[in-house]
Chains A and B, each alone.
Chain A
Amino acid sequence: MILPNKNQPADPLYLDTWKGNLGIYVRIIKLLRPHWKLSLGAIVCLGLSTGLALVVPWLLAWVIDTGLRHGQFSTLLLATVAILVTSSLRGLFAYGQGYLSQAVSNHVAYDLRNTLYDHLQTLSFSFHDESETGQLMSRLTVDIEAVRNFIPLGLLRGLLALVYFGAISVILFRLDWRLALVTMLSVPLLIVLSIQVSRRLRPLWLGVQNETGALGTIMQENLSGMRVVKAFAREEFAISRYDAQNRQVRELNMSAMRLAAWNQPLMVLILNAITVLIVWLGGIAVIGHQLSLGVLVAATTYILLLATPVRSFGYMVNWFLRGLSGGIRIFSVMDTAPTIADAPGAATLKHVKGQVRFEHVSFAYGNGREVLHDINIDAQPGQIIAILGATGSGKSSILHLLPRFYDVSKGRVLIDGRDVREVTLSSLRRSVGLVLQDVFLFNATLRDNIAYGVNDATDEQIIEAAKAARIHDFALALPDGYDTWVGERGVTLSGGQKQRVAIARTLLLDPRILILDDSTSSVDMETEYLIQQALDVVMQGRTTFVVASRLRTIKNADQILVLDQGSIVERGSHETLLAQGGAYTRLYDLQLREQEEFEERMMASTHGSEERKAS
């Protein structure tokens, strides 16, 4: 299923109107502005090479009319040399045009890619929540490519066709105005035909694009969920789903192609019919001695020259359409304003002590449903705040508000008494370290991954962090040590190892405030022990917010917050909460009491056995 362009605002710019489309083209053309020298060069070369191309038939006409009639070899030779010279010059300018137009489009693609990437970096989490990686990638690849190709293949060729038409009609008018008028008959016909076809072709191509995207999603999902597909023996279901979608893509493709196949030869036919008309009318005129044969020959040659641009009309229309839809999709992302940005005059957050306050904070995600209601937290520097609650109770949301991944809808979040919205994002986020639930490692060496957040970390610092995160021994055991490449999405590391790399990464940042979204349970007990040790080190001397599931962490916490459906229902230390006899106590009774007693017994017995051994 492909999501309709959710991020696309209902701006008149994107509506499929004549004016809106023109706006997109104008915006694409504006992209050329920084490269105006190259663009101008391309256009000049285009004009000159076209002009020179038109000189050759004129030379031929001259040869036939004067050179041959007088039979002078010197005239013939002169004409030959002239043809060679103009052609060489033409080749030179054609080269300039070909290269420069490509260069311009390469520059534009480079600019677009940079701007788009940059913009994606500034867009906040809520945008990235809504958009799928595949969709964004297709904008960065297919759509940029469409705009890039549009410049030489659509825009410049369109210009070329115009110049060609213009120049040839000027020449024709100078040769014989009557023949010229007849030729010009084709222009309105061609224009009407092009407009009509592009109007019908556009929705077809859009359909092809969307359905192909949907086909891609089906494929991607099927391949990455192969284990599930196989486990449920759903191969046939998957095939029939793919097949149905594939069929739809094929049908749409064929209707688009049928239209294109109809259109292009029709354009050539129009031109050829005009040529025949010229030969006929011109022939009559020549016979009636109103026209010289040379002029007629030249005129037909010129008209035949029009065949090339006309033949490329079909492709041109295609590139215009692709450029348009690519432009729309790219600009729609670029026009999405980041919901979270530095306030004007935002200050740098410096020398953070680590006091954190949530004051009457309410919060809702993009879809409007409030997930946090009137949250109040007061964390003193160095405190550990444990957050407990069921799935969907809002634990992660609290954690996301602190580094300002989202903005609160009511109330405020303060660090050392300053609203997080009043400081720069980069200084804020550098002061807040995160170990997220889903550890993402980059396709780089282990060293680079640990040092990912810090610009100029020394080897000593990296190793120190790795030691503290209990990943150092593992790193040394790798074939290339810290220079070992960590594969795509860190596939060569186990979950526990990835987690510890992420801890080292955060540790190297040395943040005063730490956020741990704890999901280390997917590892075996030994790894868990290592991670626990690593976390103990990390939490020392920092204000720590932890979504906790470990008893020891909870017991060590200065404050325990029990969340239920977006509200804090209980708060306090382990002891005070136990004394209260509320939700926490129930939990403790059900799950902890027996275990604690058991642990004591185990400890005693191991202790006892060790003592016995010692004695």
Chain B
Amino acid sequence: MKSDPHKNHNDNSRRKYWRENSLESSDENISGKFDWHLVKKFAPYLARYRGWTIASVVLMLLYTVFSLANPYLIGVAIDQFISHGNLGGLAIICIILIVINVLMWQAQYWQVWTMSWAGQQILYLLSTDMFTHLQQLSLSFYDRTQIGRVMSRLQTDIDVLESMLSSGLLSMLGSLVSLVGIVIAMLIMNVPLALLSFTVLPIMFVITAFWQKHAQRSFRRTRAAISVVNATLQENISGMRVIQSLAREDRNRSEFDELNAYNRDTNNDASRIAALILPLVEVVAALAIAITVLFGGVQVSRGSLTVGVLVAFTLYINRFFDPIRDISQQYSQLQRAGVAAERIFQILEMPVDIVDKPGAEELPQIEGDVEFRSVTFGYSRDMPVLRDFNLHIKAGQTVAIVGPTGAGKSTIAGLLARFYDIQQGAVLVDGHDVRDVTQRSLRSQIGVVLQEPFLFTGTIRDNIRYGRLAASDEEVAEAARAVGAHDLIAQLPDGYDTPIRERGRNLSVGQRQLISFARALLSDPRILILDEATANIDTFTELIVQQGLKRLLDGRTALVIAHRLSTIKGADNIVVLQAGRIAEQGTHAQLLQQNGIYASLYAMGFRHTSFDDIDHANIDAPSTVS
């Protein structure tokens, strides 16, 4: 991690740090140059489908040869047979032509097919590799990266590569090969005429190079414009409720129109330039044809050239410019694909900072004893959030952590599950350093319930079962019943089969939280982390949730981060955190007696009393705090 010297400007430096270290910066800086290092990175993927790729290239060569033979043979038919009145020869050459065309058809089919096949396999591998890699990246990556930008790499960039791999690359290669073939054929047929028609090439190159430069710039501008348009649309759709509730539609309409029009005009500018290349190639081609006809015509009239050769030659000139036209068009596509590949490999090469140690052992079934031993940790090395932090939680205890925002409460929870690696000290679970055991075995014995209960699309049942994939329907229902979610779920028209919409929007936060409790209960962890899990639940739901919570905490080691006194009061130990250090700890009663920070927090909380900060423990059997 890079250190930032200006750490005083906390917010600014953090943003700068993100920008430098995240994927963000590379998004708009499309270099426009094709990077040949990419070919090297790409090689292993191609190598996996070596056979198919080679077959495809061979077939393409065949196809190109066949397609070049076509006009040549037509020329021969005219010169050798039609002019000389040879009916039999004409029939033979026509049969040969048919055979060649059928072969050409097959060659092209198999060539496109093998290439698409290999391309699809490669894309599939690439995207799966990328996804797998993303699963391994630690949460610190996700803390500083916008999901949308990663998504665009997994979708847009793969799409760009797809069109390149499935058609672009090969047709470009095909164009090059046929260009070479045509040049050779023209040289064989008539060297002076061929050389004569090549004289227009320098003009061609100058024009294309000039065009490239301008086109590239304007293409880049259109990409930037459309990405702003899409970002704005995305934002406005997400915020549609706010827009409608503030009756701001008219203003947004005109603001969007402005942006939309800018995008249109940028595109029109680009089209103006893009449309130039084809007519230019056309005119240069015509120049070549004109020269050939003029000189060839003179030669024909002198008898040093046959009409058939001249006809074939003009046909070749047309064909000669086809690949040039294709290449000049596809060059920009190649560049775009290069950029896309670069962005994909950026993700694939993103270092995984939390990995299982070589030979890491499975964490055996634990009791749930947790110890933080002089832990120092900061998200950035020079800004420690926790300093020399010591805390011991005995198996089965509930420890509550309180303190102001930014004191490091959630950090402690994240360290226990090894979402981040500490810089000094050790985090021990049943005496095992969390870094010495596999992440999987560690996390499968730790349950986490977050403030924002995140549900996946699928049914409610699927979501609860996420806690233990092998659980039966009865076990799912039992877990739901235990946390008090069953009645709420049963109320819904489709019960457990109710589909959950994008981010669980069709359920209230309380309902979602109850489902996430059931999910955690089903996974039956020895250690439970509640990260402000009750913060978003309204008073009435909390009555139910509290009971579910009791059931959930029963017999487990629990680390509870909470603002609500209800969740805090019953804890075996309350830790008051301030600026990464423990300021006070003890039971509720002890801390009140100390009359320190906790007591004043408590008093302040009550002066602005809310239903939320009320102890529900005495609704049913009161849990006595000793």
Q: Indicate which residue in B136, B278, B439, B458 contacts A98 across the interface (CB closer than 8 Å).
A: B278
Of the candidates A64, A268, A279, A591, the one whose C-beta lies within 8 Å of that of B74 is A279
In the assembly, what is the distance between CA of A277 and CA of B477, in Å?
75
Query: A121-B252, A231-B446, A253-B120 given as contacts; is B290 within 8 A of A524 (CB)?
Result: no
- Complexed CA–CA distance, A525 and B503 (Å): 28
Residues of B contacting A328 with CB < 8 Å?
none
Stretch among A199-207, A280-288, A459-467 lining the B interface: A280-288
Q: B275 to A367, Cβ gap below 8 A?
A: no
Whether the pair A442, B297 counts as a contact (CB closer than 8 A) is: no
Q: Counting chain A CB atoms within 10 Å of each CB, which of B104, B454, B491 scores highest?
A: B454
Least CB distance from B623 to A in Å reads 15
Contact with A along B229-265 (1 / 0, CB 8 A): 1110111111111111111111111001100110110
Interface membership of A30, Cβ < 8 A: no
B120 pairs with A599, CB closer than 8 A: no
Asked if A521 is at the interface of the complex by the 8 Å CB criterion, the answer is yes
Cβ–Cβ contact A592 & B247, under 8 A: no
- Stretch binding the partner chain, chosen from B37-45, B139-147, B183-191: B139-147
B287 touches A266 (CB 8 A): no
- For A132, the chain B residues whose CB sits under 8 A away are 501-502
Whether A300 lies near B74 (C-beta < 8 A) is yes
A159 contacts chain B at the CB level, 8 A cutoff:
no
Contacts A257-B120, A280-B94 given; indicate if A128 touches B241 (C-beta within 8 A). Answer: yes
Partner of A95, one of B101, B239, B279: B279
A17 within 8 A of B: no
Nearest Cβ on chain A to B455's Cβ, whole angstroms: 8
Q: Which residues of B contact A223 (CB under 8 A)?
A: 134, 142, 147, 150-151
B246 x A509 contact (CB < 8 A) = yes
Choose from B9, B291, B300, B532 the contact partner of A522 (Cβ within 8 Å): B532
CB-based contact B241/A549 at 8 Å: no
B402 to chain A, nearest CB (A): 9
Say yes or no: is A80 at the interface (Cβ < 8 Å to chain B).
yes
Question: Across the interface, do B112 and A242 meet the contact criterion of CB distance under 8 Å?
Answer: no
Known: A56-B286, A83-B293, A283-B82. A99 touches B272 (CB 8 A): yes
Known contacts A64-B311, A76-B298, A91-B279; is-contact A246 B128 (Cβ 8 Å): yes
How many Å from the CB of A225 to the closest CB on chain B? 4
- Chain B residues whose CB sits within 8 angstroms of the CB of A525 once the complex forms: 563, 601, 604-605, 608
Does A443 reach chain B (CB closer than 8 Å)? yes
Cβ of B87 < 8 Å from any Cβ of A? yes
- Tell me, in angstroms, the Cα distance from A476 to B440 when the chains sit together: 46
Q: B70: CB under 8 A from chain A?
A: yes
- The answer to whether A353 has its CB under 8 Å from any CB of chain B is no
Determine whether the beta carbon of B101 is less than 8 Å from that of A269: yes
- Is there a chain B Cβ closer than 8 Å to A529's Cβ? yes
Across the interface, do B282 and A94 meet the contact criterion of CB distance under 8 Å? Answer: yes
Q: Which residues of A contact B523 (CB under 8 A)?
A: 232
**Chain B contacts for A83, CB-based, 8 A:** 286, 289-290, 293
Closest Cβ of chain A to B19, distance in Å, is: 11
In the complex, whether B68 has a CB less than 8 A from a CB of chain A is no
Known contacts A102-B274, A219-B154, A434-B245: does B509 contact A77 (CB below 8 Å)?
A: no
On chain B, the number of residues with a Cβ less than 8 Å from chain A's Cβ atoms is 174
Complex Cα distance A247/B150, Å? 21
A117 touches B256 (CB 8 A): yes
Residue of A nearest to B14 (CB): A492
Evaluate whether A527 and B405 lie within 8 angstroms (CB atoms) in the complex, with A109-B264, A117-B253, A479-B12 already known.
yes
Residues on A with C-beta less than 8 A from B275 are: 95, 98-99, 102
Q: Determine how close the nearest CB of chain B comes to the CB of A186; give it in whole angstroms.
A: 13
Report if A232-B237 is in contact (Cβ < 8 Å); known contacts: A94-B279, A122-B249.
Answer: no
Number of A-B residue pairs having CB atoms within 8 Å of each other in the complex? 458
CB-defined contacts of B91 to chain A, threshold 8 Å: 280
Asked if A140 is at the interface (CB within 8 A of a chain B CB), the reply is yes
Question: Smallest Cβ distance from A177 to chain B, in angstroms?
Answer: 20
A107 surroundings in chain B (CB, below 8 A): 264
Instruction: Give, as a whole number of angstroms, the nearest-CB distance from B325 to chain A.
Output: 11
Q: Mark B529-561, 1 if CB is under 8 A from A, else 0.
A: 000100111111101100000000000000000
B91-105, CB < 8 A from A: 91, 94, 97-98, 101-102, 104-105
Stretch in contact with the other chain, from B373-381, B422-430, B610-618: B610-618
Chain B residues positioned under 8 Å from A86 (CB to CB): 286
Question: B132 → chain A, closest Cβ, in Å?
Answer: 5
Cβ-defined partner of A239 (8 Å) among B117, B135, B614:
B135
B344: min CB distance to chain A, Å: 14
CB pair A99–B271 under 8 Å, yes or no, is yes
Q: Interface code A70-81, partner B: CB below 8 Å = 1, 0 otherwise? A: 010100110111
Q: Quick check: is B447 within 8 A (CB to CB) of the other chain?
A: yes
Would you call A378 an interface residue if the criterion is a C-beta within 8 Å of the partner chain's C-beta atoms?
no
Contact A237 B469 (CB under 8 A): yes
Which of A233, A242, A247 is within 8 Å of B440, CB to CB?
A: A233
The answer, among B117, B151, B267, for a CB contact under 8 Å with A220, is B151
Q: Which of B91, B151, B439 has the most CB of A within 10 A?
A: B151
28 contacts between A and B (CB under 8 A): A68-B301, A71-B301, A79-B297, A84-B290, A88-B286, A94-B278, A106-B271, A117-B260, A122-B249, A216-B151, A223-B147, A227-B454, A230-B419, A235-B136, A253-B120, A262-B109, A265-B106, A279-B94, A286-B82, A390-B544, A426-B250, A437-B509, A440-B242, A452-B246, A479-B11, A492-B11, A551-B609, A595-B606
Give 8 nearest A-B pairs by CB, closest first.
A87-B286, A98-B275, A102-B271, A91-B279, A390-B540, A71-B301, A453-B246, A231-B448
Q: Besides the contacts A257-B113, A519-B538, what 9 more A-B pairs have beta carbons closer than 8 Å?
A: A117-B236, A134-B502, A137-B230, A391-B510, A392-B508, A434-B245, A488-B235, A549-B539, A590-B616
